Structure 1
Amino acid sequence: MNRPATGIRLAAGNEACEETTMTNTIDPDVVDILTADHRDVTALIGEIWTITDPMMRRDLTDTAISELVRHAVAEEMHVYPAMRKHLPDGEKSVEHDVEEHKELEELMKRLEDVDVSSPEFDEALRKLEAVLADHVQDEESGQFPELRRHIPREELVELAGKVETAKRLAPTRPHPSAPNSELFHKLAGPGVGLVDRLRDKLTGRATK
């Protein structure tokens, strides 16, 4: 009498396993990619605060800057146009985000230029951390859910691929004086990125 019920439970268990496997192998969408970037950069900044060795601190800072610059460029190339097109308040959100990107670039430039053991470095890092936290909060609590609400999943997965490609070609150093525009990044960004990577290699600058 109990055997059929056991068979049903086993079948249900197998279905659950299959669903879990499918979920684990599903392609990440652009929100997954950008959220992971946020976690990585935030963790790097947190680690910088725990390090006192100047060389290690500089390497971690350069890596964090590189990751954040590439993330920002990829957003401006591909994510912000999608926000403008699909989100009800997309234009306003993009304007706000671009301004925060400019502020972050200026702070990253300061971090590049000052001694990692100086009070000026700590001040700039603290400010960067605060601006980044606000930026992440805006995106993850408001804009990212809206992207998933208004854009089909297959398009978000395609957008993830474009973002990853853009990150591989993007600059690795902050360029506060450069235009923060989709057109500039698509036309000049790869060239700027190539120069940055050459400089990184020649100077031994730490980047991923």
Structure 2
Amino acid sequence: MGDFSRLPTGHVARRVRRDDAARVLSSVSSPWTSAPLRERQAAMEKFQIVISPDVVDVLRHEHEQIRQLCIDVRKAGPGRRRQELAALGQTFYRHQLGERAVAHPAVRNSGADGNAIALGIQLKSEQLDRSLTEILRLGVEHADFDATFATLSDGLLAHAADQESDEFPLLRRHVSAQRLHMMAGAMNDIRIMALD
């Protein structure tokens, strides 16, 4: 395999890796290399999941990061709490950027309830975004910080749980594995462009 460090985005790196993986797999002698095309494609999709996460995997990992950052903010001492809260704000911002640009539009087109589910989750995330902005404005020294952050943290955890139970199954059921991987690359590209 080649040197992926010089490639401009994660999306391109995954495409190159898939191409390399397909070449390697096609040269390996095994019972499934002579199998019908559909079986080989199914095997490639399984292999792709190992070498690159799809959009659901990426979002789920970010939910874990947000959960951990909520814990870190609560446990942090006065000197460290501001940094942990800033890290939570940045992580949530990047997460929302990817969801709004890539995940929610795909959910809207997934199943009969997709539009209502995506809209409901997007409205909740906008409320959380406003609450997070407000708590960042107030600061960690504010008298109501602990109570306000507890409410925000509960909202963030509920939002992640709702997305995992409502949106993710729709994506897995109605969007092909290849497109889910492409969506992860597109989400990464959008976030990189937002940094410029």
Task: Judge same fold: TM > 0.5, yes or no.
Answer: yes
Task: Indicate the residue corresponding to 1:160 in structure 2.
Answer: 184
Task: Indicate the residue corresponding to 1:13 in structure 2.
Answer: none
Whether contact under 8 Å (1:107, 1:127) holds in the other structure is: no
Task: Indicate the residue corresponding to 1:132 in structure 2.
Answer: 156
Which structure 1 residue ranges, 5 or more long, are not aligned? 1-21, 171-192, 195-208
Deviation (angstroms), 1:24: 7.7
Deviation (angstroms), 1:23: 7.6
Task: Indicate the residue corresponding to 1:8 in structure 2.
Answer: none
Deviation (angstroms), 1:92: 0.5
Number of residue equivalences: 153
Q: CA RMSD in A?
A: 2.3
Decide which of 50, 53, 61 is 1:28's aligned counterpart. 53
CA distance in 1, matches of 2:121, 2:93: 14
Whether contact under 8 Å (2:76, 2:84) holds in the other structure is: no
Amino acid paired to 1:53: P
Whether contact under 8 Å (2:117, 2:166) holds in the other structure is: no
Paired residues for 1:131-150 under 5 Å: 131-150=155-174
Amino acid paired to 1:77: A
4+ runs deviating over 6 angstroms: none
Note if 1:88 corresponds to 2:112.
yes
Note if 1:40 corresponds to 2:82.
no
CA distance in 2, matches of 1:165, 1:144: 21
CA distance in 1, matches of 2:49, 2:173: 22
Q: Helix, strand or coil: the match of 2:144?
A: helix
CA distance in 2, matches of 1:128, 1:77: 23
Deviation (angstroms), 1:139: 1.1
Whether contact under 8 Å (1:65, 1:108) holds in the other structure is: yes
CA distance in 1, matches of 2:148, 2:131: 6
Residues 1:117 and 1:96: Cα distance change in structure 2 (over 3 Å) = same
Deviation (angstroms), 1:147: 0.7
Which structure 2 residue ranges, 5 or more long, are not aligned? 1-46
Residues 1:24 and 1:146: Cα distance change in structure 2 (over 3 Å) = closer
Specify the structure having the higher radius of gyration (Cα).
1
Residues 1:23 and 1:164: Cα distance change in structure 2 (over 3 Å) = closer
Amino acid paired to 1:100: K
CA distance in 1, matches of 2:148, 2:193: 27
Task: Indicate the residue corresponding to 1:52 in structure 2.
Answer: 77
Task: Indicate the residue corresponding to 2:26 in structure 1.
Answer: none
Whether contact under 8 Å (1:87, 1:146) holds in the other structure is: yes
Residues 1:169 and 1:66: Cα distance change in structure 2 (over 3 Å) = farther
CA distance in 1, matches of 2:50, 2:110: 28
Deviation (angstroms), 1:169: 3.2
Identity %: 26
CA distance in 1, matches of 2:87, 2:147: 19
Scaled by the length of structure 2, the TM-score of the pair is 0.71
Deviation (angstroms), 1:166: 1.9
Scaled by the length of structure 1, the TM-score of the pair is 0.67
